[in-house]
Amino acid sequence: MGSMKVHQLARGFWEHEPSLSLGCKRLRPLAPKLPNADTHSHSTVSAFDLKSFIRPESGPRKLGSSDEKRNSPQVETHPGGTRWNPTQEQIGILEMLYRGGMRTPNAQQIEQITAQLGKYGKIEGKNVFYWFQNHKARERQKQKRNSLGLSHCPRTPAASFTTISLDSRGNQLVAERGEDSPYKRKCRSWTFECLEEDSRSCKEEGDRTLELFPLHPEGR
């Protein structure tokens, strides 16, 4: 939960290259526009709240104590807690789900999976998200590579959707593939969180939460 600390030294800053080889995509018309129209409108939806949990504490350094539930038998270390280090059970369940047909779990599913897997070790929703993302991509690559020798790719059996649930008693996760129905919907909303951990800022006080703007009460 909370505090995850990912640090990464940014490389240049992805200014990838100027490569002119853009190809043949479709160039979108993209005429310049000049919207400046008058004040536009507005608002729409939502707003949620992003909880600003930025837990100031947690020195950038070692810590490794923050987790409460670390009981997992797993050896893993993740001392400084840098990146998720899945336990066997976690991987097993994920693979099971994948084999069951799950490819891109929606937010709710991710939540559930995360909760389940959390019993076996530290994990966050994004880890699950990424896992599926990566696993899917890598399986595809692998298959593509293999297909060079094979005739035509078998194509994954199902294009249907999968819902996970669990048996009421066993606390078992169950992935069932459903047929496609008329609508599919997916939404996800994110809350950004970051514990900053700059080399310099870490010695500062938490974070200033001052009001940046004059505070137009009214707003648009």
Partner DNA sequence: GCAAATTAATGATTTATTCAAG
Partner DNA sequence: CTTGAATAAATCATTAATTTGC
Residues 51-80 that bind DNA (CB under 7 A): 76-78, 80
Q: Read off the DSSP letter of residue 202.
A: G
Note whether 86 binds DNA by CB under 7 A: yes
Site for its own copies in 181-220 (CB under 8 A): 181-200, 207-208, 210-220
Pair 77, 85: CB distance under 8 Å: yes
CA atoms of 70 and 85, how far apart (whole Å): 12
In the complex with DNA, the residue whose CB is nearer, 16 or 152, is 16
Note whether 23 binds its own copies by CB under 8 A: yes
Interface pick for DNA out of 96, 100, 119, 135 (rule CB under 7 A): 135
In the complex with DNA, the residue whose CB is nearer, 13 or 213, is 13
- Give Rg (Cα) of the chain: 23
Q: How far is CA 194 from CA 4, 9, 198, in A?
A: 8, 15, 11
Note whether 147 binds DNA by CB under 7 A: no
Interface pick for DNA out of 136, 158, 163, 177 (rule CB under 7 A): 136
Q: Hey, what's the torsion of the CAs at 175, 180, 183, 184, to 10 degrees? A: 40
Task: Provide the mask over 3-42, with x wherever binding to DNA is found by CB under 7 A and - wherever it is not.
Answer: ---x-xxxx-xxxx-----xx-xxxxxxxxx-x-x--xx-
CA atoms of 22 and 162, how far apart (whole Å): 37
- In terms of phi and psi (left: phi > 0; alpha: psi -120 to 50; beta: otherwise), the region of 58 is left
Q: Contact residues for DNA (CB under 7 A)? A: 6, 8-11, 13-16, 22-23, 25-33, 35, 37, 40-41, 76-78, 80, 82-86, 91, 104, 126-127, 130-131, 133-138, 140, 186-188
